[in-house]
Structure 1
């Protein structure tokens, strides 16, 4: 490998690491805000009303997958791919924005109009229709904001997405929701407060876009041709169908729990899923800038760099997520007790989802790699096959085993789906993300688990959680350092740290 090729690869890894570090800071703040938000609602309103809130929020989040119509991923692919053709990427950006805007109008309107029907089929509780209609407004606002966030990521200016979506919005939500709860407001007022937070965040994101980015979407120009439109929809339409399949996997389990069980069951189940989603943070973080970089490397036929970046990124994701997963399993009861004593019924649900999320993180950005290497139809087929399997298994197992059955179905499908994607990347591109360096975090995780279990056995609940987190992290990091730092990790860290020092 030439020095120039090595520097190019390092620059790509540094960009991914920089994006991940920025996103992680924002995600930590966002997750703390989300945790406090759910904690406030569950504590002030109880498991039943919290279940209504969580169910409506899940419906809006699920519908958000449909309103994108593949536009966010299309932006991540085409903006870097056509960086040397500014007029074409402006047109493709305009096409993506228009497509997603129309999708937001249609889906939000359908949710608003059919809210009574949805309520009658799921949670027939007083006031639930009004709550759903408010979430339809949040759905529309968040869809528009997501278009701006995807544009920031495509030009590798993730800091503006982080600031708007991961810092400002959660702070606004906690302040607004906390304020209305303190004066004794209802669950309806809680959702009104969230609408206000989403609207303010959208205006902030628009201001960032207008002041910080020079690219502007357009539907005119020399590339406004049938060929360009066909190229765009040949990529985005399979992704739209893919998102429909993703709906059947994402949070469909929560929706089916609401159909067959009570709002209290929804609340208990949702909190367990929420806690397990912390493991997803490293994957999301490193996947922020991986897609545009992978798209550029693939378009330039730089396969060696693409393979190296795929391996390093996957190992980073798994290394960070493993210690979080071990902590969540060891202290599962203590963590769930924070939401209220009734939520400890979800300990097995939490454990199952932690295991499935570890499978997810161990396969790295395989899904993004498939999409960036023009295998969008394969991704679409994956989502539909596993989506249908998830729905069928949830319906069958929930009726037999309650929300434990939902966890078995969804966690199992998630694990198998991600292993399948790794196999597909190997089949189509002859790339895989694994090396012997994966053994280091596995061994370190085993030693850290013993340390956490010892703390849990010796101390009462809350002190055990606090000290266990410290002991587990220190032991995990110590064992990893004793094995030695990978050269590429050291180089990437020095580059990122050097860039920060220069900025200071």
Structure 2
């Protein structure tokens, strides 16, 4: 890229990124807060109740969230499409209609799960029926609160979504179950606390719903039909992504034991912290690429920059996670340390995802969202087949191999498609040149191990040190002029 064109390119993109960086910063902080509390409640359940109860908790919650996600019918996307972004009161009927549909659908699914609970129970190697009775009635509230929180993004502000979905929800889902567990109520208290939390979340979220200025509570039947015709196809993509991330726990609970599912869930949950860089950059990329969808040349120029820094941040986290895997897993309990191999496999899959860069966003914005739906569907099918083949013999390690392989397959398909349709190849020697940050982090971990410090102190020191190295890298490492776009944006987010 010529110097003159590079400067012009940098100025154009920086202006566009500046428009979204403030709300993005709040969303990133909110997401980190939500993930920390989500990890906290899982550590509490695991450490207080043990692997078996933790596995049961994870599987039941997975069922509830799956049913709640299905009950939403993609309606929050429909709200975003049909609501008047400038007039909240005028948008009230579309909100109330969507909430009513999700409550009815969620209730129908909850009743169906109760009716067929005995058959569902026969799929697993533990008493599912009693645990379903405790928690299944939260499904309509899970669905409706999700519709409200995501639908409020129609008003071009992330504030309400952050309050409900990233602050209120994780806080209550942490406080209620942990409080009841502390009262020696066991897994019954954990699941009951989760269900009560979902009701409170819905009631608070409903207070954010716009109020109509007239007597019309709901939209007309034809309008509701249009809403569903648009929304339901979106559900396929959401459910495919959910199944890719949860089917392994379900199959583990069915073919092996709740205890193995618990050990695996702890490893999977810890590895999921590596998605934070991808989430943060995704918030920047999605609105930016939406404005560039007709300018493939600019997407092609910008892609390697995002890919490079996504890889650097993810691999740095990977080094920390693997270096202290036993310390982190022991937070759940000593029995969970045996999940270290599964943790390394899932974490490696996240690194592969970072190597591919923002492929999904590029395909959705510049080509077609159907392509990535197909990619996810293929990965889900591969995941199911591999889990069924590997889990009976290899247990949770087989589940980790299956899921990591399926995630890698999905990224390989995305890479082939962005190369075919956009002519983008994210790999270059620049990735190696910028890898000085994770290399130095690995050196820091080695030095702390030699110093023989207590593991939690060493973990804290390594995390702080890695953060300092990353910020210094943003300030000092410049491979070409396009790096200034990411450096300035990320430094603005950090500070």
What is the TM-score with the length of structure 2 in the denominator? Answer: 0.84
Equivalent runs, 1:472-483 vs 2, <5 Å: 472-483=466-477
C-alpha separation between the residues in 2 aligned to 1:252 and 1:425? 27
2:475–2:487 Cα contact (<8 Å) kept = no
Q: Kindly tell me: are residues 201 and 305 of structure 1, through their superposed partners in 2, closer, same or farther at Cα, counting changes over 3 Å?
A: farther
C-alpha separation between the residues in 2 aligned to 1:88 and 1:368? 32
- For 1:275, the equivalent position in structure 2 comes to 270
Tell me the alpha carbon deviations over residues 316-337 of structure 1, each in whole angstroms, 9 at most, x when there is no partner: 5433322211110111111111
Tell me the alpha carbon deviations over residues 141-160 of structure 1, each in whole angstroms, 9 at most, x when there is no partner: 22222222323444442232
1:345 is displaced (CA, Å) by 0.8
- For 2:176, the equivalent position in structure 1 comes to 176
- For 1:320, the equivalent position in structure 2 comes to 313
- Give secondary structure in 1 for the equivalent of 2:207: helix
2:180–2:190 Cα contact (<8 Å) kept = yes
1:278 is displaced (CA, Å) by 0.5
C-alpha separation between the residues in 2 aligned to 1:185 and 1:264? 19
C-alpha separation between the residues in 2 aligned to 1:453 and 1:135? 46
- For 1:202, the equivalent position in structure 2 comes to 202
- For 2:30, the equivalent position in structure 1 comes to 26
* 1:13 partnered with 2:10: no
- For 1:144, the equivalent position in structure 2 comes to 144
1:243–1:383 Cα contact (<8 Å) kept = no
Tell me the number of residue pairs that the alignment of Structure 1 and Structure 2 aligns. 485
1:220 is displaced (CA, Å) by 4.7
2:363–2:369 Cα contact (<8 Å) kept = yes
What runs of 5+ residues in structure 1 fail to find an aligned partner? Answer: none
Q: Kindly tell me: are residues 332 and 385 of structure 1, through their superposed partners in 2, closer, same or farther at Cα, counting changes over 3 Å?
A: same
Higher mean Cα deviation, 38-47 or 15-24? 15-24
2:16–2:288 Cα contact (<8 Å) kept = yes
- For 2:395, the equivalent position in structure 1 comes to 402
1:142–1:198 Cα contact (<8 Å) kept = yes
1:250 is displaced (CA, Å) by 1.8
What runs of 5+ residues in structure 2 fail to find an aligned partner? Answer: none
2:77–2:151 Cα contact (<8 Å) kept = no
Match of 2:372 among 356, 376, 379: 379
1:251 is displaced (CA, Å) by 0.8
Equivalent runs, 1:293-372 vs 2, <5 Å: 294-295=289-290, 297-298=292-293, 301-303=294-296, 306-307=299-300, 312-372=305-365
C-alpha separation between the residues in 1 aligned to 2:92 and 2:418? 30
C-alpha separation between the residues in 2 aligned to 1:244 and 1:108? 17
1:247–1:387 Cα contact (<8 Å) kept = no
Q: Kindly tell me: are residues 150 and 361 of structure 1, through their superposed partners in 2, closer, same or farther at Cα, counting changes over 3 Å?
A: farther
C-alpha separation between the residues in 2 aligned to 1:194 and 1:360? 31
Higher mean Cα deviation, 312-321 or 408-417? 312-321
